[in-house]
Structure 1
């Protein structure tokens, strides 16, 4: 294949990935598959390499993909979109991150699609659960293990004539006498469940808002963590038809069980209130962050520092969520040990029956492996494979920054065009393996000779460019000569490859911005002309283009 990467490099990065990975080249009004990983071949059941998007997809899907790729070309950053399509016989909810870049004048698209069906299902399950509780005609109340009121639905308020905002946070001792009988029953059931008895449904009598006594079937569902009962979720069904009651109770239990399974499936799950105080974390927190659940509960999410999110990120997310919007993004975090990790986080506002936001739910997936692969790929795209120095593309970007800084500080930038003397003989005499190692050591000698604010790049063969920044106009030539002197000394020390010792020399052409040219192209041409004049003088020579 042609392009910025070899098939072996892409297979090394994505050959075993469970994500769908495509490398595309823009061709006229479509995109051609240059590379697809093995997972793509499994999903599509064929090799798409060489085909265009239009050749391999239904027209509507191809149009949507080209639209999204077009949007990615309008930004300098990775572009993400989510879709729900039918690939082969598999229905997948996918999230695709698209990175566009230019190589040798050609536009390329790197698309990585991951299956987010489990996360999508979990978000839908939780939304369904919230809708079920809020819209249920049956009174529901959640009581903590210390007999504190944690939550109730509108049906509970309207049935028994109580107000949620007056009850939330209160314990048994603070409740009106008329309501304590109900909590005495809850206390009794809670103690039995903690002692190991299974939860059950019982028949109770309660006085409703209108003063009438009514019989209810009370279903107690314990909410446990690490084997300990943290709360009871109680559903009260007024007895009218026993058959309907049993069916509806069973349906409710199944939905609640699905909700619990969905939460436990997530990599990291946390719930905190408007002020950031954490009320729930699942067991997966410990495995990823190194914190115990007990360390996190009752802490403020901002107090944890970067164990989950930074203070600045927290305030940004909090502002968005408290305005009623769902926040989605990637967060770089720190474990308790100080090790970094990345999460893909979805943060969801949780509303009361009156529409006010009282709590926040976060669902996070560990994406550290993916981010590390992206970093490796980014390095490969902007660095020379042999010397690991920046390539021409990165040099152009960084020189633009150096130029702007020089203009702001009224400084100059020196450009050195280097060409090794008789390097071709190394390959002819010792072979290409030694020749490659020779070029690597030569590049390292250049890197060792320049300052941290300077930049060296290999532009091909044995030719290199060096940009020297922060030059004082009156002393620019002296500063450049100092760098060249260090380079010549390092080359004179040389290096050994096997039994052979090498101490090469180099010819250099020098041009200075803005003295000799006001842009990089012009400066490179001037430095190249200076290099030509240096080589005419013999080996190991230096020529400044503006010297008389």
Structure 2
């Protein structure tokens, strides 16, 4: 049992001796669970309902009514009451239920108390009783006052006609929007007769539903009296729209069949045969198509047009299908009287009699000779296409508008390592590396639909994770009627080796061959991006022009091999001294440029940042390295120029840094100078 805010003992103290039915319910999704029922409720209703929901413990039509009022009380968060009727031991009893909503620690409860009340036979009680009888049946019920105002209607009626009972209660019934103008006079007549005390039964009337469709009903108008005087009319409606429509269909069936026969005869070759397959009727198109006269055809079997193309088993299976009373459909090659053959799409329909037996067969044939010829040509084209694609190293793929693979050549299977069933139906983007997906998506979303072939380079990932570069020519076929892509056809070839060579050449063009550091060309290409970031972040760039001290002596004393390795180690020391966002460039000999990014525009703070990098360079050079057993701990001299303080032009900044370097060397080696009137900073 679900724990509630009140124990069973506490509830029993309150309600155990009450003659009313008491229920404590907890809201559970769209239902309510029984937490407590007092003995009076158990004695009358029987069974243990604790732990069950209203829908589990109550008949469906009663549950729907109870849940409606529970939800209403919870929605309004106020006490509500409702009255209803039920049967006990062949006696109608009237009950009034009071519902109190309770919210406790995020849980919602309702306390429902139901008590029996006096059953007065006044107007409202009579209507409520009648409504309780018909409330959840397929019938719709309406209560109409003597002055023809709508008093009440059951949910069946309000749902059918999409109305809110609160909005139309008290309004003139005959003025409401669901009243069919053609039935107004009849309904008014029947209401008038019922007000005189007559029971009017099974009268055909119509209403207009929420979709604007006319619906037919039989209506029973029953007077409700009070003190021997008529007080209102109770209207019970049973819909018969379906029966009315069926009657109309039956009236037009005979005419419709004749029209159908004429229509199909103008478009197809039609014959009627008996159960033995003998032709008993043939239309003009069949006669014209075959070249036989009607007299030559009547009494003959369809064998008269048999071309001899199909084996005996073909027709045996056809007759087995018809003898089971089933429709046969297929393509047959016929022969004309002059010996020429033609193909027909054939449907043979058994015409079943009242005893359930086939009395005749209707054969409808459409000439599909041209279609068959086209299909043969297409199959030939397909065989040629497959012969080409299956013996080429080119990657050929066909996708639909969404990029789902319709066809992939065997080369995809060989090169990518995917089995065919994993490719067909898969989206092509699943084969692409991340860098190529956006380019592919842009292709399939392109609305230009040009017929001109275009090129595209894409990176494919094999089943084992390797990367293949491809260059493809693609063309797009589209449906001009809807301006949509139908298919994308792409023929590609692998260019991985070419791309690797291009990358290698590109690297060589922008990097120093000895140290592998970026060169001056790379610096020119990247500097605008560094400037853009500096402007965006209001920062300073520093250009360090660095010259290794006494490098010529290393070459002279140890030779060029040691000198080359010395430069490599020198470049490594510089790279270790700066951050990942900074740039180290070799511009020739023992001269290097370092571009420091992210420096402060505040002069004092920036000076501290520059000094820190200078010290890191000196420290890593001082740590040094060994080459062929010789130890080196070199020094360097540096000139520094600042962007944008000194210039915004790269060449100008390099020139200023070079001049600062020369000025520093004039003082001594192993120091640095910032461009401008400032003094040289020595290593002291």
TM-score of the superposed pair, with normalisation by structure 2: 0.43
391, 395, 413: which is aligned to 1:286? 413
Q: How far did residue 544 of structure 1 move?
A: 1.8
Q: Deviations over 1:106-165 (max 9, x none)?
A: xxxxxxxxxxxxxxxxxxxxxxxxxxxxxxxxxxxxxxxxxxxxxxxxxxxxx9xxxxxx
Query: Does the Cα contact within 8 Å between 1:342 and 1:366 map onto a contact in 2?
Result: yes
| Displacement after TM superposition at 1:533 (Å) | 1.9
Alpha-carbon distance in structure 2 between the residues aligned to 1:467 and 1:352: 56
The question of whether the paired residues in 1 share the 8 Å contact of 2:401 and 2:444 is answered with: no
**Out of 373, 397, 420, which is 2:548 matched to?**
420
In the superposition, relative to structure 1, how do residues 266 and 377 fare at CA in structure 2: closer, same or farther (>3 Å)? same
Q: What is residue 532 of structure 1 aligned with on the other side?
A: 662
2: CA distance, partners of 1:528 / 1:297: 63
Contact residue 511 and residue 518 of structure 2 kept, 8 A:
yes
Residues 277 and 418 (structure 1), Cα distance of their counterparts in 2 relative to 1, 3 Å cut:
closer
Matched, 1:545 2:671: no
The 3 A distance-change label for structure 1 pair 180 and 277 is farther
Query: Matched residues in 1 for 2:387 and 2:563: separation?
Result: 59
Counterpart of 1:512 in 2: which secondary structure? strand
| Corresponding residue of 1:447 | 575
Instruction: Tell me what 2:330 maps to.
Output: 180
Aligned residue number for residue 206 of structure 1:
343
Hey, what does 2:427 align to over in structure 1? Answer: 300
Aligned residue for 1:507? 637
**TM superposition shift of 1:406:** 1.6
Aligned to 2:469: 342
Match of residue 29 from structure 1: none
What's the counterpart of residue 376 of structure 2?
235
- Between the aligned partners of 1:325 and 1:286, the Cα distance in structure 2 is 28
Deviation at 1:318, TM superposition (A): 4.6
CA contact (8 A) 1:267 1:363 kept: yes
Indicate the residue corresponding to 1:330 in structure 2: 457
Structure 2 gaps of 5+ residues are 1-288, 290-320, 334-339, 347-363, 680-684
Give the secondary structure class of the aligned counterpart of 2:470. strand
Paired position in structure 2 for 1:463: 591
Q: Cα distance, 1:288 vs. partner?
A: 2.3
Pick from 394, 400, 403: which aligns with 2:522? Answer: 394
**Secondary structure of 2:518's aligned partner:** coil
Aligned counterparts of 1:437 and 1:269: Cα–Cα separation in 2: 50
Question: In the TM superposition, what is the alpha-carbon distance from 1:320 to its structure 2 partner?
Answer: 5.2
Q: Deviations over 1:314-346 (max 9, x none)?
A: 342352575545332111232233332211112
Aligned to 2:607: 477
Give 1:218 deviation, angstroms.
7.8
What corresponds to 1:263 in structure 2?
389
Matches within 5 A, 1:92-107: none
**In structure 2, C-alpha distance between the alignment counterparts of 1:212 and 1:313, rounded to whole Å:** 44
Q: Which structure has more RCO (C-alpha within 8 Å, separation ≥ 6)?
A: 1
State which of 559, 567, 573 in structure 2 corresponds to 1:431.
559
How many equivalent pairs are there?
328
Is the CA contact 1:307–1:336 (under 8 Å) kept in the aligned structure 2? no
Q: Distance in 1 between matches of 2:645 and 2:435?
A: 51
In the TM superposition, residue 293 of structure 1 has moved relative to its aligned partner by 1.0
CA gap of 1:321–1:262, structure 2 versus 1, over 3 A, is farther
CA distance 1:215–1:479, change in 2 (3 Å): closer
| Separation of aligned partners in 2, 1:256 and 1:286 | 19
CA, structure 1 residues 305+525, in 2 after alignment: closer, same or farther (shift >3 Å)?
Answer: closer
Instruction: Please point out which of 440, 455, 476 is paired with 1:313.
Output: 440
* Bigger mean CA offset, 209-218 vs 444-453: 209-218
Equivalent in the alignment of 2:622: 492
Q: Distance in 2 between matches of 1:215 and 1:540?
A: 95
> What is the Cα deviation at residue 420 of structure 1?
1.1
Quote the offset at 1:358 in angstroms. 3.1
| Structure 2 match to 1:360 | 488
Q: Do the aligned residues in 2 keep the contact of 1:205 with 1:215 (CA within 8 Å)?
A: yes
Distance between the aligned counterparts of 2:412 and 2:486, measured in 1? 23
CA contact (8 A) 1:286 1:292 kept: yes
**CA–CA distance in 1 between the matches of 2:600 and 2:453?**
52
SS in 2 for 1:181: strand
Q: CA RMSD in A?
A: 3.6
Kept after mapping to 2: 8 A contact 1:456/1:464 = yes
TM-score norm. by structure 1 comes to: 0.53
Per-residue CA distance 1:408-451 (angstroms, 9 max, x = gap): 22211111111111100111111111111111111111111111
* 2:648 maps to 1:522: no
State the Cα deviation string for residues 500-520 of structure 1 (Å, max 9, x = none).
Answer: 111111111112122222322
